[in-house]
Amino acid sequence: MFLGIQVLGVLFGLFMLYLTFLNGKRKEFTSKESIFWILIWAIFIFISTLPSSLDFLVRDIIGLSRPLDFFIIAGFMFLIGSIYYTYTIVRKNQNRIEEIVRKLAIEKRK
């Protein structure tokens, strides 16, 4: 028996799979990126349909009492990691832009 949140999770996962497929078809993602995201969304759909499949991992291996605690902790870790990664990319781009502007200013000065 599916709960409403499980149906919502499956629909969300299918929608994201569709978006991933479209991005791959438009060549906005490389084949490796497409495969990575397809696997992520397939795992998301699996966990949405069978949430009890994580009980062994969450309770016995990690030692948390509820799977929701695991998802909250994992979500925060993912968000912090994503923010850090995005910051490093933005910083590299800022440095590259500064270097290009300096070169153009020197060339224009000459």
Say which DSSP state 34 is in: H
- The domain ranges of the chain are 1-49, 67-110
The pLDDT of residue 15 is 97
- 69 Cβ contact partners less than 8 Å away, ≥ 6 residues apart: 58
- For residue 57, give the H/E element and its range: none
Query: Is the pLDDT higher at 6 or at 94?
Result: 94
pLDDT surpassing 70 at residue 21: yes
* Rounded Cα–Cα distance for residues 110 and 108 (Å): 5
pTM for this entry: 0.69
The pLDDT of residue 2 is 67
Give 50-85 pLDDT, tens digit per residue.
888 888 888 888 888 888 888 889 899 999 999 999
